[in-house]
Structure 1
Amino acid sequence: MKENLNQDTGFGEKSTDMGGRMVNKDGSFNIKRKGISVKDRASGYQSMLTMSRPRFLATIFLFYFLMNCFFTALYWLAGPSGLEGVQKVEFWDRIKELFFFSTQTLTTVGYGRINPISEAANWIAAVESLIGFLSLAIATGLLYGRFSRPRAFIRFSDFLVYTHYKGTKALMFRLVCYKDDHLLMNAEIKVNVRIVTNDHSYRFFNLKLERSRVDSLVLNWTVVHPIDEESPFYGLSQKEIVNLQPEISAYLTGFDEVYSSIVVARISYAIQDFKFGFKFLPMYFSKSMRTDLDLSKLNLIDQE
């Protein structure tokens, strides 16, 4: 077991200095950085690339709306003689005309009915056009970055099972590539465990796997850690394993043919994710002259 001791995880050893799990279920690290300003530690570009699609679209539309509101106010301050072709005189009707003129200027559409005539209005329109060009370039870059950013289309099982395996016990979880067009080549996985010792410190171990690499991740992959003499769980009962409060973290890498790039996926299993005395049921079946892989059965288990 000593030779599997891992001191290079990047996490501390004192359990009292850390809260909760190391890695969240979605693969992100459970770390919050403090002590410096948000401006210094945050990355707007990274946030825009990684946020969810609804939030990304909401951010783009909110920026667009607020920018047009800002220039609408400037056109209003430029006075009624600043723009030619404005037909409405009522307050809200005029505001709407100025707002839609701003949208046309920001996007360089320019239908032509309304046009600036005063020097102030011309300067405002010139600055807005420049900002429109720059905003369009940035939005285009963000959209391309989001679509082209390599992603590992991998789903892990929600839990890990502790079950009989080849005359001994084993810990197992499984994963699958769920996109039709994305084939992961030379997939390799590394698994380690964090346990809490009697002196309330953490110890990390690399877990020996039955198979740590597959040439092509076409079907599902059940990752197996046999509990033998080299395992930190060897000779322990279910209660003793629970008392260790283990957290098992997995790190998967592979080459995606579509992106022509290395992709990464992470997962962790805390003790509440362990299923003792269960086994995974098959996910793929022979049908006529092909094999059907049923992704809905990723978490299908049964008692031993």
Structure 2
Amino acid sequence: MLSRKGLQLPEDYLLTRLAEDVQHQTKGASTRARKARFVAKNGACNVAHTNIREQGRFLQDVFTTLVDLKWLHTLVIFTMSFLCSWLLFAMAWWLVAFAHGDLDPRAPPARAPCVTELRSFASAFLFSIEVQVTIGFGARMVTEECWAAILVLILQNIVGLLVNAIMLGCIFMKTAQARRRAETLIFSKHAVVSLRDGRLCFMVRVGDLRKSMILCATVRMQVLRRGVTREGELLPLEQIDVRIANPLDTNALFLVSPIVLCHVIDSNSPLYGLSAQDLQRDDLEVLLILEGVVETTGITTQARTSYVSDEILWGHRFVPAVSEEDGAYAVDYSKFGNTQRVPTPGCSAQKLERQGGVTGLKFGGAGEGAPSLRRRRRASTRR
């Protein structure tokens, strides 16, 4: 036991496991095979949907199905929808001309045709394109000779408007999807665990690269792990909500500059009983979800990322990335993911709380706190 002004602190947690020692001790554990992660670093969900027997449900929402398709498939459908409609109505115009006798070379020249200058299927196809895309070159035109031609003209205009609305709307939605805006919402590559106000905290940094803000930004944090109920039911992917510390008692963010999200590891936290070594051995995944409304478009966007055990640095703290220069605040994104080692107990938050916490101790940075602590321990041992 070491003593500091009457405060009895156990030697096994008094910052004896600095970040470099913890990483060295857990290096072997981190190299073993881990379970597949649920969410990739870029936010893509690692879930494969198989054995779906009700495929027809996707056709009940055709527009969403088209938007969700890959770009190659969407462009193929976009092209084929216009080509098929042009060919379909080209056949209709050819049949109208054939039924009226306009394609007969022996027809008297004084007889008015249904469509002028329509003498073959090629000319019928060109006229179909002119009608649907409203080019109107003027060489071919509908006359008042045939009511069938007038009905086909009305029908093709209606179908053409529907095809344009659906396909152009699909292309617009794919280019303006919410996840496109999420590309400029960034998360730190690593999460850190260190002391803040005398309590162990799990921290992640999030930022926005654009000047246009994300309105009503909210953030959620979940811990994904295997679990077992009291009845013995195996939960292969249990989702546990994690509370993020906020003085306003809400998860809303004013994301005008990079923010460090902090989760206090208390008795309600799923990380409460995990030490630095336990964290490396445990197959858990921390999921972070950021949602908000894009200021310029009003579209709701969502950005996601996750951190597995190997991506959580115990005994580290984020380097400040915001500074004041010439009366304005400047953000240096080269420091966005940088961390520094700081003196941090290697024990769990549960054990730290049982030992009375570390309130009253003043810690410096990793460079000054660790050597001074070692000197105190050596002096205590000599005494």
Taking structure 1 as the reference length, the TM-score comes to 0.67
Deviation, structure 1 residue 129 = 2.1
Question: After the TM superposition, which residues 27-106 of structure 1 pair with which residues of structure 2 at under 5 Å, given as runs?
Answer: 30=47, 32=49, 34-41=51-58, 43-49=61-67, 59-75=77-93, 81=103, 83-85=115-117, 95=122, 97-106=123-132
Q: For residues 132-191 of structure 1, give each alpha carbon's deviation from its aligned partner in whole angstroms, at most 9, with x where no partner exists.
A: 133334456657767888779441326342332335544332322343233424x33221
Cα separation, 2, equivalents of 1:71 and 1:296: 59
1:276 aligns with 2:313: yes
Cα separation, 2, equivalents of 1:66 and 1:293: 53
Q: For residues 48-96 of structure 1, give each alpha carbon's deviation from its aligned partner in whole angstroms, at most 9, with x where no partner exists.
A: 4566778756643442233224334555566572753258x8xxxx74x
Paired AA for residue 306 in structure 2: Y
CA contact (8 A) 1:191 1:206 kept: yes
Deviation, structure 1 residue 113 = 0.6
Residue 106 and residue 217 in structure 1: after superposition, are their counterparts in 2 closer, same or farther (change >3 A)? same
Deviation, structure 1 residue 105 = 0.8
Cα separation, 2, equivalents of 1:165 and 1:47: 48
Alignment match, 2:224: 194
Q: For residues 178-208 of structure 1, give each alpha carbon's deviation from its aligned partner in whole angstroms, at most 9, with x where no partner exists.
A: 43233424x3322121222487535443323
Residue 121 and residue 243 in structure 1: after superposition, are their counterparts in 2 closer, same or farther (change >3 A)? farther
Cα separation, 1, equivalents of 2:168 and 2:239: 44
CA contact (8 A) 1:28 1:266 kept: no
Alignment match, 1:247: 285
Residue 108 and residue 196 in structure 1: after superposition, are their counterparts in 2 closer, same or farther (change >3 A)? same
Alignment match, 1:301: 338
Q: For residues 19-57 of structure 1, give each alpha carbon's deviation from its aligned partner in whole angstroms, at most 9, with x where no partner exists.
A: 955555436583637544323145222244566778756
Alignment match, 2:43: 26
Residue 143 and residue 193 in structure 1: after superposition, are their counterparts in 2 closer, same or farther (change >3 A)? same
Taking structure 2 as the reference length, the TM-score comes to 0.56
Cα separation, 1, equivalents of 2:285 and 2:204: 13
Alignment match, 1:111: 137
Q: For residues 193-241 of structure 1, give each alpha carbon's deviation from its aligned partner in whole angstroms, at most 9, with x where no partner exists.
A: 1222487535443323233534522112221223344432234344432
> Which has the larger Rg?
2
Paired AA for residue 78 in structure 2: I
Deviation, structure 1 residue 287 = 3.4
Q: For residues 237-283 of structure 1, give each alpha carbon's deviation from its aligned partner in whole angstroms, at most 9, with x where no partner exists.
A: 4443244321222333445555668x352524152772435554444
Paired AA for residue 71 in structure 1: F
CA contact (8 A) 2:63 2:166 kept: no
Question: After the TM superposition, which residues 211-230 of structure 1 pair with which residues of structure 2 at under 5 Å, given as runs?
Answer: 211=246, 213-214=251-252, 216-230=254-268
Question: After the TM superposition, which residues 1-20 of structure 1 pair with which residues of structure 2 at under 5 Å, given as runs?
Answer: 20=36
Cα separation, 1, equivalents of 2:36 and 2:251: 30
Partner SS for 1:67: helix
Alignment match, 1:233: 271
1:210 aligns with 2:245: yes
Residue 158 and residue 215 in structure 1: after superposition, are their counterparts in 2 closer, same or farther (change >3 A)? closer
Gaps of 5+ in 1: 1-18
**193, 200, 203: which is aligned to 1:172?**
203
Cα separation, 2, equivalents of 1:287 and 1:250: 32
Bigger CA drift: 72-81 or 210-219?
Answer: 72-81
CA contact (8 A) 2:285 2:307 kept: yes
Bigger CA drift: 241-250 or 273-282?
Answer: 273-282
Partner SS for 1:201: strand
Cα separation, 2, equivalents of 1:38 and 1:179: 40
CA contact (8 A) 1:184 1:218 kept: no
Residue 150 and residue 201 in structure 1: after superposition, are their counterparts in 2 closer, same or farther (change >3 A)? closer
Cα separation, 1, equivalents of 2:193 and 2:53: 47
Cα separation, 1, equivalents of 2:339 and 2:282: 25
Identity of aligned residues (%): 18
CA contact (8 A) 2:221 2:288 kept: yes
Q: What is the RMSD computed on CA atoms of the aligned residues?
A: 4.2
Partner SS for 2:254: strand
CA contact (8 A) 1:159 1:273 kept: no
Cα separation, 2, equivalents of 1:195 and 1:208: 17
CA contact (8 A) 1:165 1:226 kept: no
Residue 260 and residue 110 in structure 1: after superposition, are their counterparts in 2 closer, same or farther (change >3 A)? closer
Gaps of 5+ in 2: 1-34, 104-113, 342-383
Alignment match, 1:184: 215
Bigger CA drift: 238-247 or 251-260?
Answer: 251-260
Residue 74 and residue 145 in structure 1: after superposition, are their counterparts in 2 closer, same or farther (change >3 A)? same
Alignment match, 2:377: none
